[in-house]
Amino acid sequence: METLVSRSKLTLLFVTALLMTMLVSQTACTMGRAQELATTNTPIPNPYLANPLFAITHFDSAQTDSMPYGPPFGVFKVDPRKAPLVYGGPINIITLASTDGNYMWGAGTDRVSYVYKPNGVWKTVATYNALSEASGGVFQPIPNENLLKFGLSSAVGMTTTTMDSQLKKLFGDNYGDRMGNGAYVVVSKENVLYANYANSIYGLALKDPSNPSAGIYLRYKLDDVVNTIEGNNPPPPAGTRIAGISITYDGHIIIVLSNGVAVINSDLNPASKNFYRFGSDEYVSNSIAVDEKNAIYVASDKLMRKLIWTGSTISDKATDGAWSSPYETSDVPPPIIKFGTGTGSTPTLMGFGNDPDKLVVITDGAQRMNLVAFWRDNIPDGFVQKPGTASSRIADQIPVTCGFTNLPTWIQSEQSVVVYGYGAFVVNNIPETVPEELKKANKILQVSLMGPAYPTAYGVQRFAWDPSAHKWWSVWGLPDVSSTSMVPAHSQNDGMVMVNGWTSANGWEVTGLNWSDGVISHQTIFGQYNFGNGAYAILQALENQDLLFNSISGPIRVRYGN
């Protein structure tokens, strides 16, 4: 690894950034910032997770994407070829906490791994080829050397034709259908990892917890999930699929299907299933948030819902606290990256403990999306539905502009909203121009090319909720920051939010933006190697400030000399 700038230059950089922040202190944005309610309340930990942090996609049951840790301030040039790698992919959503702090679970579209991690080590000790088994060999395990070869190559100068040929050669002719496997995962307090592969739910555990290298075994399994859960009266709609997995605060597994939600015992016994079916015209493409009262927050492409797990059934009754609300969507499908015409967000909870407003937030499906906050519990007395909103359940919504002077046709995201306190952060994943050949490509092909070979997406924006006025306001927006497809992450200690994108100057990079003013406070520059492409994954950092980067070829560990 090579630091690009000297310590003296870094000092100058941050003094300059401080002066810039002071200079804008008279702007409306900064005047508004003074009104932002400072709150350190965080979600109540789920006692059935392996760890309060990282044991579930999006970090916690509230799906906040906020963590204590973050990388150091500065600009760093990293050679990803020298970073230790855990093979997986081509999509690696998250590396998950184990009940043993020396290890993490790695989950991706191809396999599940158990990873040894203390003192800077990053080593696979056990692997389970879940997709190959679940698909009956239709999807063969991707050889490690093929994943490595792809990570070491570059997409610069490639076309959809040449990249498709390369992906077929390395990942198999059916590589485009690997999407969705191992996408949303959870690790229980028994150190069982639950993940979806093909049409099965796997509960994977260590053969010998005292000797993890003895391997991973299949402890629980639910086969033919859609038909087993839904039955045939009526039969599930064609194309019904597994969309997400979570766990309740009383230890039940939640299975999100594209047309409803099921709750089942942790041993995946089908006799224990409870299923709530959505409308036949609805489709769910993301996972869910869960609160400490076992409320389940799920968004289809038509409605945002709060359902209640009572301990014996899934309730949609208002007397139990349940509700549903429409929100704005588009009739036109987005050209790239995003799935469907509704929200691209897994719902995120905002407001905890004694915070005055309790909300659940998403970005909606409008072509130029809005940030939408729904009242999580009772609608306040006297609250009047706001103009332009779809129901009085919507506390407020605000257009996302990302600071563009001339708004592009599309501002949309496939990522959940990052939440810390009453602050929220969103990204735009749609480039201003998308060539026709890329629109027709499968999602893995699109995400492999966008940036180095075709125009990248630009635009990020930070918002804050004002509980005294029950409204959003924009803190800052940046139209020149690239975020292609990776889920952003917030560092509480560093006060920064991180994105992964492509620039012509640096190639792939992780960019850290100051939470208060958007000034760049961190850059990890990977260059043109595909290793720097996060491909629908999520950004993470470890306790010692190491970056855990879930690359397209597998999670790599980046050390900064700490």
* Res 19 pLDDT > 90: no
pLDDT of 20 reads 41
- DSSP code of residue 116: E
32 pLDDT band, cuts 50/70/90, is: very low
Classify residue 107 as left (phi > 0), alpha (psi -120 to 50) or beta. beta
* Res 298 pLDDT > 90: yes
* Res 548 pLDDT > 70: yes
**What average pLDDT does this structure show over 451-472?**
97
The answer to whether the beta carbons of residues 417 and 325 sit under 8 Å apart is no
Task: Note down the domain range covering 93.
Answer: 2-558
Instruction: Count the Cβ atoms, other than its own, within 10 Å of residue 35.
Output: 12
Angle between the N-to-C axes of helices 160-171 and 144-152, in degrees from 0 to 180, rounded to the nearest 10: 150
pLDDT of 221 reads 98
Low-confidence winner among 16-20, 205-209, 414-418 (lowest mean pLDDT): 16-20
How distant, in Å, are the alpha carbons of 47, 69, 79, 282, 447 from that of 545?
A: 26, 6, 17, 42, 27
The answer to whether the beta carbons of residues 130 and 112 sit under 8 Å apart is yes
Q: Which residues contact 422 (CB under 8 A, 6 or more apart)?
A: 36, 37, 39, 350, 351, 355, 357, 464, 465, 466, 467
* CATH code assigned at 27: 2.130.10.10
* Res 247 pLDDT > 70: yes
pLDDT tens by residue, 306-358: 999 999 999 999 999 999 999 999 999 999 999 999 999 999 999 999 999 99
Closest CA to 91 of 557, 558, 555, 546: 555
Instruction: Count the Cβ atoms, other than its own, within 10 Å of residue 507.
Output: 18
pTM for the whole structure: 0.94
Cα–Cα distance for residue pair 503/203, rounded to 1 Å: 40
Nearest 10 degrees: CA dihedral of 81, 533, 547, 512? 130
How distant, in Å, are the alpha carbons of 27, 73, 166, 516 from that of 475?
A: 10, 22, 43, 8
Higher-scoring residue by pLDDT: 38, 218: 218
38 pLDDT band, cuts 50/70/90, is: low
State how many domains the chain has.
Answer: 1
